[in-house]
Amino acid sequence: MTTQPSETVETRRPLNKERVLKAAIDLADREGIRALTMRRLAEELGVEAMSLYYHVSNKEALLDGVVDMIVGEINSELATIDVPRPEDDWKRAMRMRILTAREMMLRHRWAPNVIEERTTISPQMVLYFDGLIEIFHRGGLSYDLAHHAMHALGSRALGFTQELFEPDEQAEPDVSSDAMLETMSDHVPYLVAMLNDITHDEPETTLGWCDDQTEFLFGLDLILDGLERRGEEADGA
Amino acid sequence: MTTQPSETVETRRPLNKERVLKAAIDLADREGIRALTMRRLAEELGVEAMSLYYHVSNKEALLDGVVDMIVGEINSELATIDVPRPEDDWKRAMRMRILTAREMMLRHRWAPNVIEERTTISPQMVLYFDGLIEIFHRGGLSYDLAHHAMHALGSRALGFTQELFEPDEQAEPDVSSDAMLETMSDHVPYLVAMLNDITHDEPETTLGWCDDQTEFLFGLDLILDGLERRGEEADGA
DNA sequence: ACCTGAACACCGTTCAAGT
DNA sequence: ACCTGAACACCGTTCAAGT
């Protein structure tokens, strides 16, 4: 008869798939994706682990659902914002869409890795991609070019890139990398030179300390500009 | 005194870290990354699971080592091939390097996901990146632009992109996606139109059936061309 | 319709011990 | 120096059973 610690009385109503997925996202946000186990999630919901299987057929399905819900939230948000008509400025329309998706990814830092591990296709993701293709098409790009564009964007279409040298989520200061570069400087002279050159103004900067947002935009605009030019070349020919 | 089934007599010499890592890569190649558990790997080597901990401090370290070994192989291979001097044609030099890395990734399809999950920096990876920066620098790009370039390339620098809609490794034919698109065609008209347009010549083609290599090259060249132009703009100003 | 208990076959890892 | 046995604290999941 006692209420579970993390449960208020009003949430003690019967579970459903939506509440399970919401709780899973919440748990991953708070404690990282490693903490998202069936047993731990059940505990969070004040229920036995096996109860989850009534609402979700297994853990893979849980993760599929989680991804679908997050992309669904992106789609909902996109419906509320004002974007230019693609016929007028498809690059800006595309940019705004992708940056909206990116905000969601930054709120759920674990999501990119989960998304990339999925093998099934999320219906919400299909809807999202349809929206991107619409922009390309109405912007005047051929479907052929739009197809190349989707591949060229890759995960950037969803607002994230994999930073290969990004340190851990809540990383320790990691002074070792400074010392390491020092000792390696004979072996990696160009890398060291580049870092020295970059860190001129911002003294705090080192490997992985870069401004992600700036770099994301640089890469995104590089691709969008390139696509625009290929479109013009095709029109000219 | 009996020899383990998967062991020839000559490999029954004492273990070392290198042999452990090699066996791990082998196992992942043959049976997928999910099969790479400490216990299964030990079995493969004809040894108890706990013996592995003598050579590698834990599973994370094992995966770190595996990644480092694979990138190391890329580096070795790069030392043997003829590339143009960056001063003469940095784009081609870069392209060849990256495509060499890509060949390795295609031989170890599970590697991209493992690489992206690592949080520690692999020494061999640092060497590899130094080589890329060398090409940009000797090709005449500023270190600032080279830095942007590394971010813009992202995982493409290592020869892979995450195909968001790629089906499973050894995927079943998956006729469902055809049927699914049929029923969804009202909701995703642009996606359907794009696919119809593309599949004109190659009747087999559908979502995820695209020619990865062609698309990889399209995206790579789009970025390299864009970088070249930004470099010229900077020179001109 | 919704949830549980007991059980199974797996994980990674520790620690003290063997040769 | 190299390997092992026994044990621990976890996983996901099944299945028959409870209300």
pLDDT digits (tens, 9 = 90+) for B79-103: 999 999 999 999 999 999 999 999 9
**Domain shared by B43 and B129, yes or no:** no
Alpha carbon distance A47, B127 (integer Å): 50
Alpha carbon distance A160, A15 (integer Å): 32
Q: Which of A115, A126, A137 has the CB atom closest to B184's CB atom?
A: A126
Mutate to test the interface with A, among B91, B98, B130 (most CBs of A within 10 A): B130
For the cut 80, the answer to whether the pLDDT of residue B137 exceeds it is yes
Query: How many CA atoms within 13 Å lie on the side-chain side of B68?
Result: 16
- Joined tokens for residue B107: 């031989």
The model's pLDDT over A114-147, given as tens digits with 9 standing for 90+, comes to 999 998 889 999 999 999 999 999 999 999 999 9
Give long-range contacts, CB 8 A cutoff, 24+ apart: A115-121.
A115/A67, A115/A155, A115/A158, A115/B164, A116/A155, A116/A162, A116/B113, A116/B116, A116/B162, A116/B164, A117/A63, A117/B113, A118/A63, A118/A64, A118/A67, A119/B166, A119/B167, A119/B168, A119/B171, A120/A64, A121/B165, A121/B177, A121/B180, A121/B207
For the cut 50, the answer to whether the pLDDT of residue B173 exceeds it is no
The model's pLDDT over A36-77, given as tens digits with 9 standing for 90+, comes to 999 999 999 999 999 999 999 999 999 999 999 999 999 999
The model's pLDDT over B16-59, given as tens digits with 9 standing for 90+, comes to 999 999 999 999 999 999 999 999 999 999 999 999 999 999 99
Q: What is the largest CA-CA distance in chain B?
A: 76
For residue B193, give every residue at least 6 positions away whose Cβ sits within 8 Å of its Cβ, in sequence order, or none. Answer: A133, A137, A143
Geometric angle at alpha carbon B199, from A236 and B155, rounded to 5°? 75
Which nucleotide is closest to the Cα of A15 by its C1'? C2
Q: How many residues does chain B have?
A: 237
**Domain shared by A22 and A94, yes or no:** no
**List of chain A residues whose C-beta atoms are within 8 Å of the C-beta of residue B94:** none
Nucleotides on strand C with an atom closer than 7 A to protein CB?
Answer: 1-6, 10-16
E strand or H helix at B226? helix B212-236
pLDDT of residue B184: 73
Band of residue B170 on the pLDDT scale cut at 50, 70, 90: very low
For the cut 70, the answer to whether the pLDDT of residue B221 exceeds it is yes
Alpha carbon distance A119, B154 (integer Å): 22
pLDDT of residue A3: 36
Closest CA to A70 of A113, A39, A8: A113
When pLDDT is averaged across residues A154-167 and rounded to a whole number, the result is 85
**Domain shared by A212 and A102, yes or no:** yes
**Domain shared by A17 and A82, yes or no:** no
Q: Which residues put CB within 7 Å of chain C, the nucleic strand?
A: A 14-16, 42, 47-48, 50-51, 53-55; B 37-40, 49-50, 53, 58-60
Closest CA to B107 of B54, B65, B70: B70
Angstrom distances, CA of residue A134 to CA of A220, B153, B192? 18, 26, 11
Do the domain assignments include residue B71? yes
Band of residue A172 on the pLDDT scale cut at 50, 70, 90: very low
pLDDT of residue B18: 97
pLDDT of residue A177: 59
For the cut 50, the answer to whether the pLDDT of residue A2 exceeds it is no
Under 8 Å between Cβ of A75 and A56: no
User: Of all residues in chain B, what percent carry a pLDDT higher than 70?
Assistant: 83
**Domain shared by A27 and A97, yes or no:** no
- Joined tokens for residue B156: 């493409």
Shortest distance between the Cα of B23 and any Cα of chain A, in A, equals: 24
Do the domain assignments include residue A231? yes
**Domain shared by B223 and B128, yes or no:** yes
Shortest distance between the Cα of B9 and any Cα of chain A, in A, equals: 39
Alpha carbon distance B96, B38 (integer Å): 36
**Domain shared by B47 and B137, yes or no:** no
CB contact under 8 Å between A127 and B188, yes or no, is yes
**Domain shared by B96 and B130, yes or no:** yes
Average pLDDT, chain B: 87
Average pLDDT, chain A: 87
Four-CA torsion A172, A177, A178, A183, nearest 10 degrees:
150
Which nucleotide is closest to the Cα of B56 by its C1'? C13
pLDDT of residue A9: 41
Do the domain assignments include residue A168? no
Do the domain assignments include residue B139? yes
Shortest distance between the Cα of A3 and any Cα of chain B, in A, equals: 38
Indicate the number of domains in chain A: 2
Looking up residue B117, the CATH number of its domain turns out to be 1.10.357.10
Alpha carbon distance B107, B71 (integer Å): 12
When pLDDT is averaged across residues A181-185 and rounded to a whole number, the result is 70
For residue A225, give every residue at least 6 positions away whose Cβ sits within 8 Å of its Cβ, in sequence order, or none. Answer: A91, B226
CB contact under 8 Å between A155 and B146, yes or no, is no
- To 10 degrees, what angle do helices A17-31 and A59-80 make? 90
For the cut 90, the answer to whether the pLDDT of residue A165 exceeds it is no
Looking up residue B48, the CATH number of its domain turns out to be 1.10.10.60
- Joined tokens for residue B103: 């060949």
pLDDT of residue B176: 52
Domain encompassing residue B49:
13-57
pLDDT of residue A166: 62
Do the domain assignments include residue B1? no
Do the domain assignments include residue B8? no
Under 8 Å between Cβ of B145 and B90: no
Band of residue B202 on the pLDDT scale cut at 50, 70, 90: low
Percentages (nearest 5) of helix, strand, coil residues in chain B? 70, 0, 30
DSSP string of B5-63, one letter each residue:
TT--GGGGSPP-HHHHHHHHHHHHHHH-GGG--HHHHHHHTTS-GGGHHHHSSSHHHHH
pLDDT of residue B2: 36
pLDDT of residue A236: 80
Do the domain assignments include residue A173? no
**Domain shared by B52 and B93, yes or no:** no
- Joined tokens for residue B181: 């698109």
**Domain shared by B188 and B116, yes or no:** yes
* CA-derived radius of gyration, chain B: 22
**Domain shared by B35 and B74, yes or no:** no
For the cut 50, the answer to whether the pLDDT of residue B7 exceeds it is no
Closest CA to A100 of A133, A79, A80, A78: A78
CB contact under 8 Å between B121 and A154, yes or no, is no
**List of chain A residues whose C-beta atoms are within 8 Å of the C-beta of residue B164:** 115-116, 125, 154-155, 157-158
Alpha carbon distance B44, A187 (integer Å): 36
Do the domain assignments include residue B99? yes
**Domain shared by A36 and A83, yes or no:** no
For the cut 50, the answer to whether the pLDDT of residue B222 exceeds it is yes
